[in-house]
Amino acid sequence: MNKLAEILGIRFPIIQGGMGNISNAQLAAAVSETGGLGTIGAGTMEPDEVEAMIVDTKSRTSHPFCVNVPLGVSPYGKEILSLVLKHKVPVISLSAGNPAPYIPKLHGEGVKVIVVTGSVKHAKKAEEAGADAIVAEGYEAAGINSPFETTTMALIPQIASAVAVPVVAAGGIADGRGLAAALALGASGVQMGTRFIAVKEAPFHVIYKQLITNAEDTSTIIVGRGLGRIRRLLNTPYAQKLIDEERKGISLSDFIDMTAEYYHKLGALEGNLEDGFLNAGQIAGVIKDIPSTAELLERMVEEAEISLDSAKTKLFC
């Protein structure tokens, strides 16, 4: 059995990425029901909102799901960690901060811990701290990115060689070819965010889904590089507004305000492209349809098997 799937108690080694304040129980439960690991992203949401989402998710699925807590972003990290224990959420994903102080207590309550990282150094530290699995996220990914800007193809084999726990590839993956490539590079599974925007169960604005399925290879841009706050977005009017403000010398505090989750929700949930932004990874250009989560995951596994067999044929022909 796949090591990652065995540890997490899931059928397919496919994880839904946290989506900040646009997270929802509907999508997370659908992914878990299908055999992957659905995720609620706590983002900057208040504890009562996260708790309601946890309860809603549990009412929709009996399968394992995950809560992502961005430690350096959420002002309510400790409270949300307490909610994970209170509601016996089986898996937690920790990102944007040091997970070491929290892992022993989580393990003591039987919670599996995934740590998200963008470097070999941090992956090693996460393993030493007791992480059960490590998500290695490359520069291709949507939303907030590592300042190291290491690509997925370069990052995965280095981290897979450096740690013994299962590695999950994230960034630039949306189909079975990406899953096959991740496995070939040494990962045990994949995490996807952008691909799960364009599925039937995802309650995001139709404009967001259309822009994803109409995207080309150059449809995303990076904002915040000069401020040390790298974020990958779809190239929309608001994204261009951010670029313009950077050129004018916007302060870090003002940039943080302009990229707050409030503006993320305006774009993703209301389709307001003038006043809100849309996270998207470079892989958006590959996404051309809006299947159900079940159709997507089943198709990905089938495509991965075909891709791996095809690779053998090409290598040994």
Instruction: Please report, for the chain, the start and end positions of each structural domain, with discontinuous segments joined by +.
Output: 3-203, 220-279
177-204 pLDDT, tens digit each? 999 999 999 999 999 999 999 999 999 9
Report the distance separating Cα 240 and Cα 249, nearest Å.
14
As given in the structure block, the two tokens for residue 86 are: 């209170």
Angle between helices 293-316 and 176-184 (to 10 degrees): 50
Report the distance separating Cα 166 and Cα 7, nearest Å.
9
As given in the structure block, the two tokens for residue 67 are: 């809560």
| Residue whose tokens read 């990290």 | 77
* R_g of the chain, CA atoms, integer Å: 18
Residues 202, 206, 211, CA angle at the centre, nearest 5°?
A: 100
Architecture of domain 3-203: Alpha-Beta Barrel (3.20)
Mean pLDDT to the nearest integer, 275-289: 97
pTM for the predicted model, two decimal places:
0.95
Report the distance separating Cα 253 and Cα 28, nearest Å.
32
Phi, psi of 126 (to 5 degrees): -65, -40
224-273 pLDDT, tens digit each? 999 999 999 999 999 999 999 999 999 999 999 999 999 999 999 999 99
3-24 pLDDT, tens digit each? 999 999 999 999 999 999 999 9
88-145 pLDDT, tens digit each? 999 999 998 899 999 999 999 999 999 999 999 999 999 999 999 999 999 999 998 8
Beta strands in the chain (DSSP E): 14-16, 38-41, 65-70, 91-95, 112-117, 133-137, 143-144, 167-170, 189-192, 220-223, 231-234
The amino acid occupying position 181 is A
21-52 pLDDT, tens digit each? 999 999 999 999 999 999 999 999 999 999 99
CB-based burial label for 271 (10 Å; 0-12, 13-18, 19+): middle
Residue pair 160/168 in contact (Cβ under 8 Å)? The answer is no
Report the distance separating Cα 252 and Cα 258, nearest Å.
10
> 233 pairs with which residues across the strands?
221, 279
Report the distance separating Cα 9 and Cα 298, nearest Å.
17
Report the distance separating Cα 45 and Cα 261, nearest Å.
9
**Predicted pLDDT at 317:** 64
CB-based burial label for 161 (10 Å; 0-12, 13-18, 19+): exposed
The amino acid occupying position 112 is K
Q: Which residue from 287, 25, 278, 99 is spatially nearest to 178, judged by alpha carbons?
A: 287
